Structure 1
Amino acid sequence: MARIPVEDELAIRELYARYCWALDTGDTDGYCDLFTDDAEATEETSSGGLEIRKGRDEIRKLVLKFHDRPDFPGHQHQMDQFTFEPDPLGRPDCWVVRTYAWATINRPPEHPILHWCGHVRDEVVKVDGDWKIAAKDIMGWGGKVLERFGPRN
């Protein structure tokens, strides 16, 4: 299996750190700049449906759904357990990145609470020397990712 060069892995990990920081600090422009112009983001809704956003203007609407909420400040998003897979289409400077993801709500002096857990599958590409998100799937921890276990009673 192809291994991602260490320099690229470190740059992609920084991309994710910037992603969480921009999301959680209300930096809408900084968040949008992390995506390619034609990026696509799919988010699983609380009802189990899928919300698909295409293009940077739609990505802006996605993040504003959070940044415009008065109860959003205090959320902290985390990502870890990164895996890097070569692009299935064989494109150069493109990797599929999978991570566990979770969000807490932190409003001191209250104790932080776990708000959401799931996983993310992204396609990241190098554009003019910088890594960007070209496709993002944000999913809860259920459904297809657990299908190998078979039906549960």
Structure 2
Amino acid sequence: MAWELTALDRMEIQELYARYAWGIDLADLDMALSTFTQDAGFDHLWQGRVEGHAAIADNLRSLWNDRQHWWYGRQHLMNHFIMEPREEEGEVDVRCFFQILQFQTDYKTNFVFGIGTRIDHVTKKEGPWRFQSLHVNAWTAADQVPWKGDFLMAERPNHVAPPVDPDNLGGTK
């Protein structure tokens, strides 16, 4: 590797993720688009892959407006960053976990809407760090968890909750 990420680069990349989250979670199109290169690719579970600012903007408007009650009050959290520089200076692959917290305004409750992993490519080709490509791997089935260990759960029997004894709900007899 001919170059290394500096501490400043790492902090700027983390701020890129923060600006992205603030932009998409508060429907701030200008802020959200400022985190992408002009020719960026955005691969999202529900909308699929789109490329370029115009397509990303359409994608975000769809997320914000088609099911606004699902989006309003949402917070995306990204953490546990692994930043791996590519051979070309100013090009980095970033892996992270994400969680989506949701404030459900009708019921005034909070819950975890989704979790998963991301693999993104960030670049400085247009000046500040921006997303060149963004890939969201939302965990909606067991085979989407990028588990590296032995998968032993398949060998376990299906577990069923024990029957409830209505005469012993307090746990003592």
TM-score norm. by structure 2 comes to 0.76
Deviations 1:50-106 (A, max 9, x none): 81111111111221122213212101110000000122xx22101001110011111
Question: 1:32 Cα deviation (Å)?
Answer: 1.1
Aligned position for 1:113: 111
Aligned equivalents of 1:60, 1:151: Cα separation in 2: 42
Residues 3-82 of structure 1: pairs in structure 2 closer than 5 A? 3-45=4-46, 51-68=48-65, 69-71=67-69, 72-82=71-81
Q: CA deviation at 1:129?
A: 3.0
Aligned to 2:124: 126
* C-alpha RMSD of the superposition: 2.2
1:28 and 1:67 in contact (8 A); partners too = no
**Distance in 1 between residues matched to 2:83 and 2:108, nearest whole Å:** 37
**1:86-127 deviations in whole A, cap 9, x for unaligned?**
22xx22101001110011111467331000001111100013
* Residue aligned with 1:67, SS: helix
* 2:83 alignment partner in structure 1: 84
The alignment partner of 2:109 has SS state of: coil
Length, aligned pairs only: 147
Q: Where do 5+ consecutive residues of structure 2 fail to align?
A: 155-173
State how far apart, in whole Å, the 1-side matches of 2:53 and 2:82 are.
25
Which structure features the higher share of strand residues? 1
Distance, in Å, in 1 between the alignment partners of 2:145 and 2:114 is 18
Give the counterpart of 1:96 among 78, 88, 93.
93
Structure 1 stretches lacking a partner, 5+ long: none
Equivalents in 2 of 1:56, 1:138: separation in Å? 18
Higher RCO (Cα < 8 Å, 6 or more apart): 1
Distance 1:53 1:152, change over 3 A: farther
**Cα distance between partner residues in 1 of 2:45 and 2:64:** 18
